[in-house]
Structure 1
């Protein structure tokens, strides 16, 4: 006679219960949002005067708000640097006054939009509320993301536009969403001219992630072309303005050639080096207007690449290192524009070091998550290609651009919310495995 064996389910571990609470309790999400908001409001209490690039944008926005137009420092119409950020900031200044307070509040609103899209995309791309919340939490405490909020630089506003456009495409259910995405990407192109590269990337992932590849291709190509067409129409009024005021056709801006030359010349180091002799000589050359100077810079940059292919390729690793190794560059703005920087310099440096360590951990998680996700999807019998690849596509976009132009750590700022949501998925996945009880379930005989 044999005894009947009764097996009871394993009791969840404390870690498993904690993870479930983190992923399901409403108070947890409210707490993350409170932390996210409070840290960004706190940094707005630091007085930071716009300097360098930020000063240019701030003064253009003030000029637009005053009705004087988009003018250079000499008072002449210009298309130097893309105008999207000064135009948006100018609208804010026209309504609330030109001040760093108005600037900070506008950036705070943009930062909150970044947080919202990070949470929404984390849910959509990884199918996990816990992973989405973890990604938002990582972004909430990421010092460099916080540090940009008071600054008159493009990064916060641009990142909000980029993420909103991607969210609309990923979650689209009608053609009106395609129109909305086109408008968002068009405005983003006015902030950073290379943005439209992202649109084919998103549609490529949408095409590869599902079956019936060739049957779906014509429809996706048509949708992609619609988004690009709407984006181009959004940019067109600015291009017409350039033709009317500059006498030349300029699609977005006149700094593309200049940026190319700063990264590709005899003394280039892989970084953005505007003080190089060849660049300074060109900028000082008489008889060239803005458009002609940019065209000449483009010619010189392309000629250097053609004549020095080996040196151009040798710069590639340096450009990549300049782009991806350092982080925390927001500190430079405080060093140049915060009156109290010298008094609190040790604290700023400590935060910079802490940020670099945090950034390194995020990037390590981002790298490890790639093979981990492929292995998990194959184990579960899923196609390995999915929306989870979008963060890596977004990271590829500035990488390819920097290989041609130059590397700056500032350029990876728009990628970091995607890095946070991916690292958040990995963190929750690893903790979930650690929380699984390995002991056999208790039995009765």
Structure 2
């Protein structure tokens, strides 16, 4: 004798209930935001003076805020390093006065907006509130992201610009949004000159993510060219200024050639290496002005690559390793600019080690998420391309730049919110799969 199996509705497991609570309870989101804010406010109380690159940017911002123009340390007009960050910071200094408090609060606001965009993009890309919240939580406790908030470096502000431009392009449904994205990404180009590469990457994902790729191509190509054109128009006034004061056309800055050479010469080791005969001889030449020096550095860099293609290719893995393996470089700024650092150096170093372990876990999960997403989409009969590829495209952008120029760990800073939102999705996917392992009761 046989009996039909009677299946009763399975009550949700405890894990499933906790996941539902994490995704829906308002107090959870408020707690994540509180943690995000408190950690970044706390680090503002650590005294740190600008040094190295941060000092250059800070001095340029101070000069701009007082109406002196964009001048080098000798008081001469310059186009050395992109001017976008000093321009933005100078507006803050002009309005609120030159102070570390004004700098820190501006970076804090930028960091908070970056957190909001991490949450919003996580919701949009993965369509999952729990995953978006998890991504924000992962970013909230990421030590290196916290450590940058008091620093006069480009990373916090640039990350906000990059994420804002990407967000607008992802959600766009009006042409005006394309113009807005172009302006924002254009100003981002004034902060980091290679930003324009991001525009075709975003539109390539949009092109591939839906059926009818060839019928959609003309419209997307037109939209991409519009964004690119607006971005170039945003940069154009600075380019014209450079021609007027320097006598030659310089799109954004005059350090591109120097950066190329310091990453590609006989003594280069994969990172930013200013030691080497070609670099030293260029530095010592007094017959060249700033623009000519940059042109000569670019010529020497490309010439070395052409003469040493094998060595150039051999440097690529080292450059990528320099870019992606280490993390926690914010600690260098505290080491150089914090009074009494030696007295608390073990504490800083402990945080550095903790950060490296956390970063390593994030990056391993980021790589795993790519495989898991591909498997899931194939299982569900979905096209494999989608907006979920955006974080990986953003990661590919500095990788490509590093292979040509040099690898520095701070260049991956703007990628990390995208990494966190992707790892947040993977964590929640695993959480959900674990909660569904429980079998419902059966009566035979």
Common fold: TM-score over 0.5: yes
- 1:57 paired with 2:70, answer no
CA distance in 2, matches of 1:26, 1:64: 44
- Alignment correspondent of 1:225: 225
- Alignment correspondent of 1:332: 332
- Alignment correspondent of 1:407: 407
- 1:253 paired with 2:253, answer yes
CA distance in 2, matches of 1:425, 1:93: 39
- 1:429 paired with 2:429, answer yes
**Once the two structures are superposed, what CA deviation does each residue of 1:196-219 show, in whole Å capped at 9, x if it has no partner?**
100000000000001111111000
CA distance in 1, matches of 2:146, 2:296: 39
- Alignment correspondent of 2:366: 366
CA distance in 2, matches of 1:3, 1:398: 63
CA distance in 1, matches of 2:213, 2:139: 35
What's the CA shift for 1:343? 1.0
CA distance in 1, matches of 2:203, 2:221: 8
Contact 1:10 1:437 (8 Å CA) reproduced: no
What's the CA shift for 1:99? 1.2
- Alignment correspondent of 1:48: 48
TM-score by length of 2: 0.98
CA distance in 2, matches of 1:303, 1:289: 21
- Alignment correspondent of 2:93: 93
Contact 1:264 1:405 (8 Å CA) reproduced: yes
What's the CA shift for 1:243? 0.7
Alignment of 1:295-334 (within 5 A): 295-334=295-334
- Alignment correspondent of 2:238: 238
CA distance in 2, matches of 1:214, 1:310: 38
What's the CA shift for 1:275? 3.7
- Alignment correspondent of 1:118: 118
- Alignment correspondent of 1:288: 288
- Alignment correspondent of 1:201: 201
Contact 2:267 2:275 (8 Å CA) reproduced: no
CA distance in 2, matches of 1:36, 1:191: 25
Distance 1:276-1:54 versus aligned 2 partners, 3 A rule = farther
- Alignment correspondent of 1:74: 74
- 1:189 paired with 2:202, answer no
CA distance in 1, matches of 2:389, 2:102: 37
Contact 1:12 1:437 (8 Å CA) reproduced: no
Q: CA RMSD in A?
A: 1.1
- Alignment correspondent of 2:271: 271
- 1:349 paired with 2:349, answer yes
Aligned length: 444
CA distance in 1, matches of 2:442, 2:232: 68
CA distance in 1, matches of 2:122, 2:4: 47
CA distance in 2, matches of 1:153, 1:437: 47
CA distance in 2, matches of 1:245, 1:16: 64
CA distance in 1, matches of 2:3, 2:121: 53
**Once the two structures are superposed, what CA deviation does each residue of 1:98-122 show, in whole Å capped at 9, x if it has no partner?**
1111110110011011101100110
Contact 1:263 1:273 (8 Å CA) reproduced: yes
**Once the two structures are superposed, what CA deviation does each residue of 1:231-259 show, in whole Å capped at 9, x if it has no partner?**
11100000011011111111100000000
What's the CA shift for 1:8? 1.1
CA distance in 2, matches of 1:238, 1:362: 38
What's the CA shift for 1:278? 2.4
- Alignment correspondent of 1:167: 167
Contact 2:122 2:128 (8 Å CA) reproduced: yes
What's the CA shift for 1:307? 0.6
- 1:19 paired with 2:19, answer yes
TM-score by length of 1: 0.98
What's the CA shift for 1:67? 0.5
Gaps of 5+ in 1: none
**Once the two structures are superposed, what CA deviation does each residue of 1:151-210 show, in whole Å capped at 9, x if it has no partner?**
000000000000000000000010011011001100000000000100000000000001
CA distance in 1, matches of 2:174, 2:427: 34
CA distance in 1, matches of 2:131, 2:277: 49
Contact 1:15 1:435 (8 Å CA) reproduced: yes
**Once the two structures are superposed, what CA deviation does each residue of 1:87-145 show, in whole Å capped at 9, x if it has no partner?**
00001100011111111011001101110110011011111111110000000000000
Distance 1:340-1:218 versus aligned 2 partners, 3 A rule = same
Contact 2:50 2:337 (8 Å CA) reproduced: yes
CA distance in 2, matches of 1:357, 1:4: 53
SS at match of 1:78: coil
What's the CA shift for 1:277? 3.7
Gaps of 5+ in 2: none
SS at match of 1:431: helix
What's the CA shift for 1:442? 2.1
